[in-house]
């Protein structure tokens, strides 16, 4: 007759499972493109750095100062004294969202991380949602996107007009590209550094988000998406915010038609 497992045995099995899971968590950094974010940098970086320090993996925050005209760089240097896992990349001239992302990606690759996870530098994406990316990272997906459009996602404080335009744009992108994601224009994403090293994006603005999905598909990337809650920017919002314009959608369409 087989004896039933004791509490000690079950506890040991649970510890073994936890240790196995910990070993499988890839290393990653959070890339933060920042332009004139002196007012939001402390809260944003502090929240992220504190959160990722609790995870059982090698992590860091890579803050990219994209030629800010305010004191963003000075604030980042002060924060680096407080947070040893903060890496600063300083771009002397403002190159735009795409260039800031690529600067962060190069740093992620140079520091040997498995993944680069990009978040906005204004605190509109809560650090707790980083947790959603861990399982698909552990499953070795190449390209992981946060989505505003799953049943478990929420959008708070964003006007109906902006939500409608965004939804229509993403439906159009899906019709052309057809990868298993619903939020193509969302900048909250994690990409394997081995995939980033093979990408050759050139767009300087927000359209690089579509460009990199197109390139990821061509390179055979495995896609995955996770839910999260998007909150609106407060008054005095970031100068690096996305602006809906014909120029932006024209650059999106260029990549959709040529994919």
Residue 208 lies in domain: 25-257
Q: Could you read off the pLDDT of 123-181 as tens digits, one per residue? A: 889 999 999 999 999 999 999 999 988 787 666 656 656 665 666 666 677 677 889 99
What pLDDT was estimated at residue 178?
81
Tell me which range, 105-109, 118-122, 160-164, is most confidently predicted by mean pLDDT: 105-109
What pLDDT was estimated at residue 237?
44
Q: Could you read off the pLDDT of 188-205 as tens digits, one per residue? A: 999 999 999 999 999 999
Task: Determine contact, residues 121/30, Cβ cutoff 8 Å.
Answer: no
What pLDDT was estimated at residue 20?
45
Please give the average per-residue pLDDT across 71-99, as a whole number: 97
Q: Could you read off the pLDDT of 15-37 as tens digits, one per residue? A: 444 444 445 789 999 999 999 99
**What are the beta bridge partners of residue 133?**
none
Considering the domain boundaries, does residue 16 fall inside one? Answer: no
Considering the domain boundaries, does residue 8 fall inside one? Answer: no
CATH number at 87 reads: 3.90.550.10
Confidence of residue 3 (pLDDT cuts 50, 70, 90): very low
Considering the domain boundaries, does residue 20 fall inside one? Answer: no
Q: In sequence order, what DSSP letters do the residues of 57-89 get, joined into one string?
A: S-EEEEEEEES-SSSHHHHHHHHHHH-TTEEEE
Q: In sequence order, what DSSP letters do the residues of 92-138 get, joined into one string?
A: SS---HHHHHHHHHHHHHHTT-SEEEE--TTS-S-GGGGHHHHHHHH
For the chain, the domain total comes to 1
Q: What share of the chain is helix, strand, coil (3-state, %, to 5)?
A: 45, 15, 40
């Amino acid at each position: 007759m087989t004896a039933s497992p004791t509490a000690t045995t079950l506890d040991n099995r649970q510890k073994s499972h936890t240790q196995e899971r910990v070993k499988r968590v890839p290393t990653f950094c959070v890339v933060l493109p920042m332009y004139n974010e002196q007012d939001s940098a402390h809260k944003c970086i502090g929240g992220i750095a504190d959160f990722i320090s609790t995870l059982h993996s090698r992590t860091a925050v890579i803050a990219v100062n994209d030629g800010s005209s305010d004191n963003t760089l000075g604030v980042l240097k002060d924060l680096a004294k407080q947070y040893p896992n903060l890496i600063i990349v300083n771009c002397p001239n403002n190159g735009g969202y795409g260039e800031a992302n690529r600067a962060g990606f190069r740093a992620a690759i140079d520091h040997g991380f498995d993944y680069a996870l990009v978040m906005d530098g204004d605190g509109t994406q809560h650090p707790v949602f980083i947790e959603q990316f861990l399982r698909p990272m552990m499953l070795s997906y190449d390209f992981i996107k946060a989505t505003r459009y799953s049943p478990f996602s929420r959008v708070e404080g964003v006007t109906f007009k902006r939500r409608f335009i965004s939804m229509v744009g993403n439906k159009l992108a899906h019709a052309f590209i057809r990868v298993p994601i619903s939020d193509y224009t969302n900048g909250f994403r994690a990409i394997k550094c081995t995939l980033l090293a093979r990408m050759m994006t050139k767009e300087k603005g927000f359209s690089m988000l579509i460009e990199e999905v197109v390139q990821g598909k061509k390179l055979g990337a495995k896609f995955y998406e996770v839910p999260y809650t998007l909150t609106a920017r407060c008054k005095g919002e970031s100068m690096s915010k996305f602006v809906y314009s014909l120029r932006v959608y024209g650059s999106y369409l260029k990549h959709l038609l040529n994919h």
